[in-house]
Amino acid sequence: MTTRLTVPTDRPYDVVIGNGVHEQLRGLIGFGLGVLRVAIIHSPTMAKQAEILREPLVSDALEVHLIEVPDGESAKNADVLAFCWKVLGEAGFTRSDVIVGLGGGATTDLAGFVAASWLRGVRFVNVPTTVLGMVDAAVGGKTGINTGEGKNLVGAFHEPVGVLCDLDVLRSLPAAELRSGLAEVAKCGFIADPTILDLIEAAPESLADASSPIVAELIAKGITVKARTVAGDLRETGDDGIGREALNYGHTFGHAVERFEHYRIRHGEAVSIGMVFVAEVAHRAGRIDQDLLDRHRSILGTLGLPMTYRPGIWEALSSTMRLDKKTRGDQLRFVVLDGLARPAILAGPDEQLILDAYRAISS
């Protein structure tokens, strides 16, 4: 079964979820728009899949360039970005040509920023190949790279013209990557759709099988939350409330953990730790009760995700968090809950309170 969700922004686009949906790439390229060239930016593990996408496009007389970039977060830096620009320049890429991002969230983040920055913006399609990529990075138009100072500090808002989530590729996904992606799905449950949490609790035995109908349903629900949230606040202005910032639940502390670990920890694992940390913060601030704090640990434990982090490095983590995109001036801001599915901002919390929350997850 194929599910089609529309992201209703100023330039609406569809997210197609199902088995074998990569075959719809030809329809998204836009042959009537003067396309001559397609660049498929992919990780080494997706080389075979890139060839599969390439073949029908070449048959349609398109010039297809495969641009292989490093796996994971190591692809998201200025050197790799410049390499991609060089390939596009040498190939003569014009504004009517198309970029395809094939891979996990890091690859689609990079591909989107390549598309946003080349000739001030060309069209691109995302073909995410991990649960994390499907429910988070591929939808919403946030693109970017990392710097030595932090994650995603350089980037642009640039929406794709379509997203193809082919569930067939998940069958070879390592168990740890599946768990990492499901952390972002659980986040969507805490901030917006509690039925996600109910599904996780009701069928824990299905969560390790990427081909199970439950995992497919969780992916669709996570994407629905992302699409609905993004449509209401594309550029994260928060003019009508918390808006898109809600999607950063667990990310302020999680990004600091990722940077401290030099991105050797998976994004979803770091976000899992970040969600427990910020739940501890919210509980100490009187925003959530003990039951909701405990449910964080129960849900994330069911998914086999980490919930604690190393002690003794608070200063390093705190310094990194102050570079977070939500920080205003020298005031830390955290996305917290005021109850299940009620995200809010906690600005300038007491330093001792957040230190106590850190000690609670590192003891």
Q: What is the mean pLDDT of residues 51-66?
A: 94
Co-location of 254 and 186 in the same domain: yes
Q: Tell me the per-residue pLDDT of 290-349, one tens digit each, with 9 for 90 and over.
A: 999 999 999 999 999 999 999 999 999 999 998 875 666 678 999 999 999 999 999 999
The three-state secondary structure class of 204 is helix
Same domain, 160 and 226: no
Range of the domain at 321: 175-231+246-362
pLDDT of 327 reads 63
Do residues 249 and 190 lie in contact, with contact meaning Cβ atoms separated by under 8 Å?
A: yes
pLDDT, tens digit, for every residue of 141-183? 999 999 988 889 999 999 999 999 999 999 999 999 999 999 9
Tell whether residue 71 is among the known ligand binding residues: yes
Do both 264 and 184 map to the same domain? yes
Task: Give the strand pairing for 13-18 and 162-166.
Answer: parallel
Last residue of a domain, one of 172, 193, 214: 172
Residue 199 to residues 152, 267, 288, Cα–Cα distance (Å) = 31, 22, 22
For residue range 227-248, what is the model confidence (pLDDT) as tens digits?
Answer: 999 888 878 777 667 989 999 9
Of 172, 201, 220, the position where a domain reaches its end is: 172
Inter-CA distances, 145 with 13, 116, 154, 260, 269, Å: 23, 12, 6, 17, 20
184 is in an annotated binding site: yes
Looking at residue 145, what is its pLDDT? 97
Report CA-CA distances (Å) from 297 to 167, 195, 257, 350: 28, 17, 18, 24
Q: Please state the pTM of the whole predicted model.
A: 0.91
Q: Is 130 annotated as a binding residue?
A: yes
Same domain, yes or no: 252 and 138 = no
Has 105 been labeled as part of a binding site?
A: yes
Please tell me the total count of domains within the chain: 2
**Is there a binding annotation on residue 75?**
yes
Same domain assignment for residues 41 and 162: yes
Q: Is 2 annotated as a binding residue?
A: no
Same domain, 182 and 140: no
Asked if residue 73 belongs to a known ligand binding site, the reply is yes
Assign residue 65 the CATH number of its domain: 3.40.50.1970
Query: Is 294 marked as binding a ligand?
Result: no
pLDDT tens-digit readout, 263-296: 999 999 999 999 999 999 999 999 999 999 999 9
Residue 221 is labelled as binding a ligand? no
